[in-house]
Amino acid sequence: MMRSFIFVTAAVALSACGSAAPGGPCSTAGFLCFDQVTALECQLGTWTALPCRGATGCQRTGNTITCDMSANQESDSCASSAVGSGLCTVDGKATLECRNDPATGKNSLKKTNTCMSCSIQRNMTTQKDEVVCQP
Surface-to-core class of residue 33, CB atoms within 10 Å of its CB (0-12 exposed, 13-18 middle, 19+ buried)? buried
Q: What is the pLDDT of residue 8?
A: 38
Q: How confident is the model at residue 3 (pLDDT cuts 50, 70, 90)?
A: very low
Question: Is residue 27, in this structure, part of any structural domain at all?
Answer: yes
Question: Is residue 122, in this structure, part of any structural domain at all?
Answer: yes
Question: Is residue 88, in this structure, part of any structural domain at all?
Answer: yes
Q: What is the pLDDT of residue 63?
A: 86
Angle at 62 between CA 2 and CA 36, to 5 degrees: 70
Task: Kindly report the backbone phi and psi dihedral angles of residue 83, in degrees, each rounded to the nearest multiple of 5, phi listed first.
Answer: -55, 125
Which stretches does DSSP call E strand in the chain? 7-11, 31-35, 38-43, 46-51, 58-61, 64-68, 86-88, 94-100, 107-114, 117-123, 128-134
Whether 33 has a pLDDT exceeding 70, the answer reads yes
Question: Is residue 120, in this structure, part of any structural domain at all?
Answer: yes
Q: What is the pLDDT of residue 44?
A: 87
Q: Is 92 helix (H, G, I), strand (E, B) or coil?
A: coil
Mean pLDDT of 39-61: 94
Q: What is the pLDDT of residue 80?
A: 93
Question: Is residue 70, in this structure, part of any structural domain at all?
Answer: yes
Contact criterion met (CB below 8 Å) for 76 and 51: yes
pLDDT tens for each residue of 75-89: 999 999 999 999 999
Look up the domain containing 92 and give its range.
7-134
Q: What is the pLDDT of residue 107?
A: 96
Question: How far is CA 31 from each of CA 2, 47, 103, 104, 115, rounded to the nearest angstrom?
Answer: 24, 9, 23, 20, 32
Whether 2 has a pLDDT exceeding 60, the answer reads no
Question: Is residue 1, in this structure, part of any structural domain at all?
Answer: no
Percent of the chain whose predicted confidence (pLDDT) is above 90: 70
- Number of structural domains the chain divides into: 1
Distance CA(31)–CA(93), nearest Å, equals: 30
Question: Is residue 2, in this structure, part of any structural domain at all?
Answer: no
Question: Is residue 111, in this structure, part of any structural domain at all?
Answer: yes
